[in-house]
Amino acid sequence: METAMTGGRNQVTTGIGMMCAGVVCLCLNDAIAKTLTADYSPIQILFLRNLIALPIAVLIALKMGGRSALISHRPAAHLLRGVLWLCAATLFFTGLSLLGLAEATALIFVMPVFVTALSALVLREQVGWRRWTQCSWDFWAFWWLSVRVQALSRQHRSSQSQRLSSMPR
């Protein structure tokens, strides 16, 4: 199979298009989940999403690799990954119920900082000073942005409550 490095320009363009489409799908998923959190708990949302996705995933796996694609050679690693994913998704959907979609999405942009730190600490990968510098800058920018968003949000709520209190009854 040809990789993007050896493949042509068309393959790279297709890959970029697929990544963009995937990001759009994730954004739509998050927006729908945000609306669902008004009526359902995060656990219910996860259960129903996975119940719907399971038969689709099984069909794709069977189509791509047959029955052997459904057999795990490292069940403990898959179990740990599943538990971590369940925790992450539950916490994410709970966060969505407590925050606005824009604020929750902004928090996702700090993920490269954690991935870099964990790749160095857990996987023992070499992380150079340039990457640590970029992560430090990203974390500082995220912190600054979150402080600004909170200040603007407080200011908006304050002006809204002042308008409401000044309205004649």
The pTM (predicted TM-score) of the whole model is 0.62
Domain holding 29, by residue range, is 1-99
Domain count, the chain: 2
pLDDT at 70: 83
Q: Where are the beta strands (DSSP E) in 26-70?
A: none
- Measure CA 120 to chain center: 21
Percent with pLDDT over 90 in the chain:
21
- Determine the Cα–Cα distance for residues 77 and 83; give it in Å rounded to an integer: 10
Domain match, 125 and 53 both: no
**pLDDT, averaged across the chain:** 83
Yes or no: say if 129 and 116 are a contact pair by the CB < 8 Å rule: no
Yes or no: say if 28 and 49 are a contact pair by the CB < 8 Å rule: no
Q: Please identify, among 49, 74, 99, the residue that sits at the C-terminal boundary of a domain.
A: 99
Tokens of 47: 């259960």
Yes or no: say if 83 and 109 are a contact pair by the CB < 8 Å rule: no
Domain match, 113 and 85 both: no
Q: Please identify, among 54, 71, 99, the residue that sits at the C-terminal boundary of a domain.
A: 99
Domain match, 50 and 80 both: yes
Yes or no: say if 165 and 157 are a contact pair by the CB < 8 Å rule: no
- Measure CA 10 to chain center: 28
| pLDDT at residue 167 is higher than 90 | no
Domain match, 74 and 151 both: no
Please tell me which residue, 67 or 152, carries the higher pLDDT value. 67
In a domain, 46, yes or no: yes
DSSP state of 40: S
Domain match, 18 and 51 both: yes
Domain match, 10 and 41 both: yes
Tokens of 87: 């925790």
Closest CA relative to residue 135, chosen from 120, 147, 117? 117
Amino acid at 41: S
| pLDDT at residue 51 is higher than 90 | yes
In a domain, 104, yes or no: no
- Determine the Cα–Cα distance for residues 111 and 128; give it in Å rounded to an integer: 18
Amino acid at 56: I
pLDDT at 1: 46
Domain match, 121 and 145 both: yes
pLDDT at 48: 92
What region, left, alpha or beta, does residue 2 occupy, with left being phi > 0 and alpha being psi -120 to 50 degrees? beta
Q: What is the pLDDT of residues 53-79, one digit of tens each?
A: 999 999 998 898 888 888 888 999 999
Q: What is the pLDDT of residues 106-130, one digit of tens each?
A: 777 778 888 888 888 888 899 889 9
pLDDT at 97: 85
